[in-house]
Structure 1
Amino acid sequence: MGVGSGTALCAGAVLGPGVLALPALAADAAGPASILAWLVLLVTSVPVALSFAALGARFPDGGGVATFVHRAAGPRAAAAVGWWFYGAVPIGVVAAALIGGQYVAGALGLGPVAAAAIGAVVIAASFAANCVGLHLSGRVQLLLVALLAAVLAGAALAAAPHMTSAHFTPFMPHGWGSVGSAAGVLFFAFAGWEAASHLSGEFANPARDLPRVTVYTLTAVSVLYLGLAVTTIGALGPAAAGTDTPLTDLLARSAGTAARPIAAAAALFLTFGAVNTYLAGASRLGAALGRDGAAPRWLARGAAPGEVPRRSLTVLAGACAAVGTAAWLAGGDLDGLMRATSTCLASVTLAGLLSALTLLPRRTWLWHAGIASSLITAGVLAFSGLLLLIPVVLAGLSWGFTTLTGRGRAGRA
């Protein structure tokens, strides 16, 4: 995999379906001050992304963050991190697919049943692309991300003339605590670096290509996220907190009724790109966990670079079906799905940052920045509340598996 397809896959992971729903959710939590939450998380993402790129270049492997934690803290800690990510992906995939389905269904004037069906089709298409092989998925992703970036940039530019300073006052209507609450919601949009780290073993030259891919992705994501965050508040004002489709509302400022099909197409591109990348990374993680003794050995087939981990993909397909069914029976609680995913992925991010502090050269600017990002990520986790039980339970299951099977000291160093 080269720089082009690698950048597309990484951007597809980070630039996820969150931009379709999260600007409105963040505005509801903190009003105009939600822009501060976007800024804080973007700044936090720089050392996260660069640290993971540096670790991936040194230790290219499908295990991603779990591999880094293994080298820093041993196999038991790595197994827990692997289970956090592997367990979070089915929840996040269903949430992402539901967001895309809702946009498309809204554009067509259809209801929640159609939204769920469209989401299921997106998930099925992503599984099919991954079963064919990562090389094909990367080429498709390159086109999808380019088209998506153009639509998102176009939405921000179209809404810019309609911005007014009155929409930024009062700037912090709910106090400083609301910024932390908004950051807890927004972490869903910044969790793609974990997925991308699992693809490090697929690069032809990780030491050369990963840093370039990371810089390109950071630049694109920063411009698009800040553009959307500012224009959502500036153009929509208080209405930003009450809409389920902020991208449609932004496009409507200039495109009128044509905004709905444009937003629906963007939603499909964005959703497929994110789901495709998360499944690619998670399937390789599952195979790596099986290889290293942190999960059943049956999953290990396909762990080598260039192979397709179809057994791991099969497990993920079953998990997605179970989560999707449960979500449907519970009334499609999208907010709960997104928060649960964010809690698990924030836990993975924190573990990866702590590993970077151990494995990377000390007293460098990246090392100090990693400390700051670790503290910020821990603060975001504090706003998860009872959802922190999810990573705790997954860690307990991981510990139980490695203990019962006698694999607590197994795995690759």
Structure 2
Amino acid sequence: MSELKKEITLLSGIGQLSTTLLGTGLFMVPAIVAGIAGYESLWAWLILFIAICPIALTFAQLGKRYPNAGGTAYFVRQAFNSKLEKSVAWLFLSVVPVGIPAAIALAGGFLQQLLPDSINSALFAQLLTIVMLIGVNLAGAKSSGRLQTFIALSIFALMAAFWWKGNFTSQDLVLPAMNSDSLWSIGAALGVMFWCFVGIEAFAHMGEEFQNPQRDFPIAIIVGCFIAGATYWICSIIVLKMGAYGSSAFDSASIPWISEKLFGSEFKALISVIGFGACFASVNLYTQSLSRMVWAQAKEYSPNSALARLSIRGVPANATFAVGGVALASCVAGKLSGLDLEFFLKLANGIFVLVYLLAMLAAYKLLSGFSRYLAAIALLLCTAVFICLGWSMLYAVTIFVLLSLPWNKWRTIQNSNRV
């Protein structure tokens, strides 16, 4: 078998994208940005959602016209050349050392609450999470889509319960007054908040597995982004009104704290299950997309290698094991480093925003008519968000520059000089 199975339906696609965009972000970003900008973070959410619309629509057009497991790297190859494609592919893979530890650590934190004392440790919970990720990925995209749709429904039910129990009203939806001084805090908040809408570029790797990519892929992206944006908005209002922000303790525990405040400690286990499910769903799509990126690159440049093979279920099993192994090593390194979630978040955001920027650049060259104008707007927006990242964009720029250097040419010259 040399082709991926086309198992993703419209409903499962919406479920996969919405849970990926919510995932880890819902359980930490609203509290982090509330600590940065307070009630003015509501303006930041609105700005981000408006900014993400042309980006999402452009990805929808790219995925519709060029459905391929290579995702952004494939779009860049179609627009430019194979050398830049390789740089983008490795740039995307370089998110593993900084993005995976933060996401799996958060998922493992929820899983720890459910483990017996004899095996209750942070590292074991993360190891178990990785094993489960590999297992779900090996089962195929269809099973994964069903799981993530169920998780999405659980998240929506949780937010609805918070809104009802907390006696929230339409008055809580009113935006605060904004002045010129607000722009600095809103800009700083945007640098963190972009994490919530990373996942679209990963979802682009799944286009080849849609049953009807030309029709369903664009709809899944648009509807998934709208659902995620509305959920983040509601969650932020809840976090702000409940005062679940302002200290590092709330960065990853605001939702459990709110749950205990509203429903009591007896709901702790249920929140842990939903929290783990949400985080797991987010990391799951990235595991899928990263393994498909590895498989697509291996298929193109080393078709006889083990990484280029598919299992009986039509899954890149060897590539999945490889990604799982790197994720495990990254989690161990993340645990030993002792760095906080916000630090990893900012570094990962730099990678994601640069990948988005390169995708929009490819779209500007590949698309025509109104879609091209939309890509130009998205390109400008990605550039603005990239600037908002400040120092954290240096990690992405450094990685990309190193990957773009003519290493093979230099190696050839060096070898010829030796001869």
Normalising TM by the smaller chain, what interval? 0.7 to 0.9
1:162-216 alpha-carbon deviations (Å, 9 max, x no partner): 8987x98786797421211111111111101011000000011100111221232
AA matched with 1:279: T
Contact 2:191 2:346 in 1 (8 A): yes
Alignment of structure 1 residues 49-198 onto 2, 5 Å: 49-105=56-112, 114-161=121-168, 175-198=182-205
Shift of 1:375: 2.3
Instruction: Report the equivalent of 2:280.
Output: 272
Contact 1:347 1:381 in 2 (8 A): yes
Is 1:307 paired with 2:314? Answer: yes
C-alpha RMSD over aligned residues? 3.2
1:351-392 alpha-carbon deviations (Å, 9 max, x no partner): 111212221223x2x543433332232222223344333323
**Greater shift in the superposed pair: 13-22 or 147-156:** 147-156
Instruction: Report the equivalent of 1:409.
Output: none
Instruction: Report the equivalent of 1:249.
Output: 257
Instruction: Report the equivalent of 1:226.
Output: 233
Alignment of structure 1 residues 212-223 onto 2, 5 Å: 212-223=219-230
1:111-144 alpha-carbon deviations (Å, 9 max, x no partner): xx73343233222201111123222222222222
Is 1:372 paired with 2:380? Answer: no
Task: Give the whole-Å Cα distance in 2 for the aligned partners of 1:305 and 1:55.
Answer: 29
AA matched with 1:390: Y
**Greater shift in the superposed pair: 273-282 or 88-97:** 88-97
SS in 1 for 2:348: helix
Instruction: Report the equivalent of 1:410.
Output: none
SS in 2 for 1:292: helix
Q: Which residue, 6, 19, 35 being the options, matches 1:28?
A: 35
Contact 1:158 1:251 in 2 (8 A): no
Task: Give the whole-Å Cα distance in 2 for the aligned partners of 1:228 and 1:378.
Answer: 27
Shift of 1:87: 1.6
For structure 2, the 5+ residue unaligned runs are 1-7, 413-419
Task: Give the whole-Å Cα distance in 1 for the aligned partners of 2:407 and 2:212.
Answer: 35
Task: Give the whole-Å Cα distance in 1 for the aligned partners of 2:379 and 2:298.
Answer: 29
Task: Give the whole-Å Cα distance in 1 for the aligned partners of 2:123 and 2:190.
Answer: 27
Contact 1:53 1:211 in 2 (8 A): yes
Shift in alpha-carbon separation, 1:117–1:40, aligned structure 2, 3 A: farther
Shift of 1:160: 4.8
Instruction: Report the equivalent of 2:299.
Output: 291
For structure 1, the 5+ residue unaligned runs are 407-413
Alignment of structure 1 residues 389-408 onto 2, 5 Å: 389-395=394-400, 396-397=402-403, 399-400=405-406, 403=409
AA matched with 2:389: S
Shift of 1:55: 0.9
Is 1:348 paired with 2:355? Answer: yes
Task: Give the whole-Å Cα distance in 2 for the aligned partners of 1:253 and 1:311.
Answer: 45
Q: Which residue, 2, 7, 20 being the options, matches 1:13?
A: 20
Task: Give the whole-Å Cα distance in 2 for the aligned partners of 1:31 and 1:241.
Answer: 15
Is 1:206 paired with 2:220? Answer: no
Task: Give the whole-Å Cα distance in 2 for the aligned partners of 1:253 and 1:114.
Answer: 26
Task: Give the whole-Å Cα distance in 1 for the aligned partners of 2:340 and 2:247.
Answer: 20
**Greater shift in the superposed pair: 388-397 or 275-284:** 388-397
SS in 2 for 1:62: coil
Contact 2:31 2:244 in 1 (8 A): no
State the number of aligned residues. Answer: 402
SS in 2 for 1:10: helix
Instruction: Report the equivalent of 1:388.
Output: 393
Shift in alpha-carbon separation, 1:63–1:238, aligned structure 2, 3 A: closer
1:60-85 alpha-carbon deviations (Å, 9 max, x no partner): 10001111111112222222211121
TM-score (norm 1): 0.86
AA matched with 1:146: L
SS in 2 for 1:197: helix
Structure of larger gyration radius: 2
Q: Sequence identity of aligned pairs in percent? A: 25
Task: Give the whole-Å Cα distance in 2 for the aligned partners of 1:196 and 1:382.
Answer: 24
1:283-320 alpha-carbon deviations (Å, 9 max, x no partner): 10111122333x89736514799721122222212211
SS in 1 for 2:23: coil
Shift in alpha-carbon separation, 1:138–1:108, aligned structure 2, 3 A: closer
Task: Give the whole-Å Cα distance in 2 for the aligned partners of 1:116 and 1:143.
Answer: 27
Contact 2:41 2:186 in 1 (8 A): yes
AA matched with 2:375: G
Shift in alpha-carbon separation, 1:174–1:159, aligned structure 2, 3 A: farther
Contact 1:163 1:234 in 2 (8 A): no
Task: Give the whole-Å Cα distance in 2 for the aligned partners of 1:148 and 1:311.
Answer: 32
